[in-house]
């Protein structure tokens, strides 16, 4: 692939981003290819060394803040006509209410998912607390002369300590999964603004 073809494809994939960002990224990759060519690589080798257009476009889009992408997409390409402004104003009770409702649903789903994660971590903390309390209580019972009860409570405390280890592993995995899911959802929203065929 030639440098020109690479830059044109990258420009097409980044067309939903702000113009200044696209120009800045294109000049950056153009310089990078030129630097590799000065090091002795051929044009095709230099382009290959930079990476694939798809990977670079995905990385650039994922690094661009969602607000910046949304502003670029929402910004009108031309001045609105009077009848379009009137239609927007008359339809605002409907579309504004739907927009607020959709936003509220997304935020509430996000809050519910993180609430479940908080419950998992609370269960882990309870296991740890009961394990420590059980061992301490068992030692106290043994000191008071109730040896069988003390041994049973220490055993329950150690068992809950083992369950706390498994709970920690599960909570950590669940938290990482939700963070990953959040990143993928944000990237999906960005791709909706930029356009799937472009990214």
Q: How do the domains of the chain map onto residue ranges?
A: 3-74, 98-194
Compute the half-sphere exposure of residue 145: CA atoms within 13 Å on the CB side of its CA: 0
Residue 123 three-state SS: helix
Rounded to the nearest 10°, the torsion over CA 107, 112, 116, 119 is 100
Q: Is residue 195 a contact partner of residue 16, using CB atoms and an 8 Å limit?
A: yes
Q: What angle do CA 109, 111, 112 make, to 5 degrees?
A: 65
Q: Tell me, what's the pLDDT at 197?
A: 41
**Which residues contact residue 105 at a Cβ distance below 8 angstroms, ignoring those fewer than 6 apart?**
none
8 A C-beta contact, residue 151 and residue 142:
yes
End-to-end Cα, the chain, rounded Å: 19
Query: Taking the CB of residue 124, how many other CB atoms lie within 10 A of it?
Result: 20
For residue 125, pLDDT over 70 is answered with yes
pLDDT of amino acid 85: 82
pLDDT score at 163: 95
Which string of DSSP letters, residue by residue, matches 94-121?
HHHHHHHHHHHHHHHHHHHHHHHHHHHH
Nearest to 34 by CA among 62, 6, 15, 59: 6
Average pLDDT, the chain: 86
User: pLDDT-based confidence at 198, cuts 50/70/90?
Assistant: very low
Both tokens assigned to 1: 């692939």
Residues 143-168 have pLDDT tens digits of 999 999 999 999 999 999 999 999 99
Return d(Cα 11, Cα 197) in angstroms, integer.
13
Distance CA 115, CA 129 (A): 21
pLDDT score for 196? 47
């Amino acid at each position: 692939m030639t440098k020109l073809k690479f830059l044109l494809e990258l420009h097409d994939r980044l067309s939903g981003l702000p113009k200044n960002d696209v120009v800045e990224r294109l000049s950056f990759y153009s310089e990078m290819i030129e630097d590799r060519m000065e090091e002795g690589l051929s044009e095709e080798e230099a382009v290959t060394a930079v990476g694939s257009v798809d990977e670079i476009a995905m990385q650039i889009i994922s690094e661009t803040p969602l607000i910046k992408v949304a502003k670029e997409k929402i910004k009108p390409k031309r001045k609105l006509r009077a009848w379009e402004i009137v239609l927007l104003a008359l339809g605002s009770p409907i579309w504004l209410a739907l927009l607020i409702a959709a936003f509220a649903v997304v935020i509430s789903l996000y809050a519910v998912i993180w609430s479940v994660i908080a419950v998992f971590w609370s269960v882990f903390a309870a296991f740890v607390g009961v394990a420590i309390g059980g061992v301490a209580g068992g030692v106290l019972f043994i000191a008071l002369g109730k040896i069988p009860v003390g041994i049973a409570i220490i055993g329950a405390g150690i068992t809950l300590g083992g369950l706390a280890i498994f709970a920690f592993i599960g909570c950590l995995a669940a938290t990482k999964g939700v963070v990953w899911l959040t990143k993928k959802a944000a990237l999906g929203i960005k791709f909706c603004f930029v356009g799937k065929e472009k990214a």
